[in-house]
Chains A and B, each alone.
Chain A
Amino acid sequence: MRNVVRGQMKIQQMAVMIVAVFFFFVLVGLFFLGIVFKDVKGSAGDLQKEQAISSLKVIADMPELNYDSSWSMCVDEDKLRVMSGNFGRTYDLFWPVASVEVYRVYPKFDEVKKCPGVGCNYYEVFNNGQRDLKTYSSYVSICRKVRESGSTYDDCEIGKLVVGVKQASSAENR
């Protein structure tokens, strides 16, 4: 009888140890996975950003906005002026996105001033009025031809192209 009790005790001890070791290794595994997937999340974020920039490149390089076909990510300020005016409305069905906006970011500005206007820094090329948009942005050059003292030169500034797309979940609900 005593042997049976001792055996049961040993089995209980072993069971408790096995459970403790199992939980310990599960916790260690979770900790390890957490560290590994933290890097994966960061890499996924970087990839998403790079993919967004590549997609924005397609829009910036469209002949409707592009300054010079040999210059990538460079928009023509005169075209921006035309496309953000009344003429741009005829292109409403052309854009594959919900909104296209261009901001002048250097020199820095404190207040957004819509173009056309004196000292303006923001062109709204297209906006179909949709809400809950996810926006992607990338730096672009805003260039124009300037005539000074009888010669012409390219005057380029730094801007940001911001494109809005309908978020996937809300688009599916529609």
Chain B
Amino acid sequence: MGNRINKFGQQEIVGFVLIVVLVVVGLMVYLVISLKDSPVNDNSVAVGNILDVMMKYTTECAIVYEPDYDSFEDLFKSCYLGDRCKNLGMMACDYLNESLSSVLGDLMASDASVDFYELDFFVGDGGGLLKISEGNCSGSVSVAQRKIVSGSESLVVRMKICR
């Protein structure tokens, strides 16, 4: 009789273990899916704010004459058109790469919560013209982009920040 009672107890324990195993497997699947898809904010106001302010920054590059200096927005267009900074004696794209890396580096260094940043400059329906990135992304991603019209072409500047 005692054996029968033990058997019932063992059956219940096996049932409980089965439930535990099923739930743990379910949770593992959920965890893997939720950790894979880290939340992405596609139209972040904070990142858009950085892009807007950066676009207005007056650079030292004058394409036509001094003091008609390009802002970064103008410099993106000049880079796309293959212009040259007349006063600096270098290509607009080279100067853009150099100065933008410096500005972004300093801005991002002032915000300790930023682990990674990436700036992509590309033609709307074509290839990339410039890419600047630094750090490793592990947290939540915020993205914003701005369009610049140059003639009939639409240029896109997209920025991605990881916190």
Cβ-based interface call for B112 (8 A): no
A6/B31 contact (C-beta < 8 A), A141-B53, A153-B68 known: no
Q: Choose the segment among A80-88, A105-113, A126-134 that binds chain B (4+ C-beta atoms closer than 8 Å).
A: A105-113
In chain B between 1 and 53, which residues have their CB closer than 8 angstroms to a CB of chain A?
A: 1, 5, 8-9, 12, 16, 19-20, 23, 27, 30-31, 34, 39, 41, 44-46, 49-50, 52-53
The answer to whether B142 touches A46 (Cβ under 8 A) is yes
The answer to whether B53 touches A50 (Cβ under 8 A) is no
Nearest Cβ on chain A to B63's Cβ, whole angstroms: 13
Nearest B residue to A151, CB-CB: B67
Q: Looking at chain B's contact residues, is the secondary structure mostly helix, strand, loop, or mixed?
A: helix
Partner of A149, one of B44, B52, B53, B67: B67
Bin the interface of chain A by size. Answer: 35 or more
Partner of A143, one of B56, B67, B103: B56
A108/B106 contact (C-beta < 8 A), A35-B34, A42-B140 known: yes
In chain A between 88 and 146, which residues have their CB closer than 8 angstroms to a CB of chain B?
A: 105-108, 138-141, 143, 146
Query: In the complex, A54 Cα to B46 Cα: how many Å?
Result: 10
A54/B45 contact (C-beta < 8 A), A32-B27, A158-B103 known: yes
Nearest Cβ on chain A to B54's Cβ, whole angstroms: 7
Query: In the complex, A42 Cα to B34 Cα: how many Å?
Result: 14
Cβ-based interface call for B109 (8 A): yes
Q: How many residues of B contact A (CB 8 A)?
A: 38
A106/B66 contact (C-beta < 8 A), A42-B140, A46-B44, A71-B56 known: no
Nearest A residue to B105, CB-CB: A108
The answer to whether B67 touches A158 (Cβ under 8 A) is no
Please name the 9 residue pairs, one residue from A and one from B, whose CB atoms are nearest each other, closest first: A148-B67, A50-B45, A139-B53, A141-B56, A108-B106, A156-B56, A156-B58, A155-B58, A153-B67
Could you pull out 12 A-B pairs where Cβ atoms are within 8 angstroms? A14-B12, A17-B16, A49-B45, A106-B106, A107-B106, A139-B49, A141-B53, A151-B68, A153-B69, A154-B71, A156-B58, A157-B57
Interface residue ranges, A against B (CB under 8 Å)? 2, 6, 9-10, 13-14, 17, 20-21, 24-25, 28, 31-32, 35, 39, 42-43, 46, 49-50, 53-54, 71-74, 105-108, 138-141, 143, 146, 148-149, 151, 153-158, 160
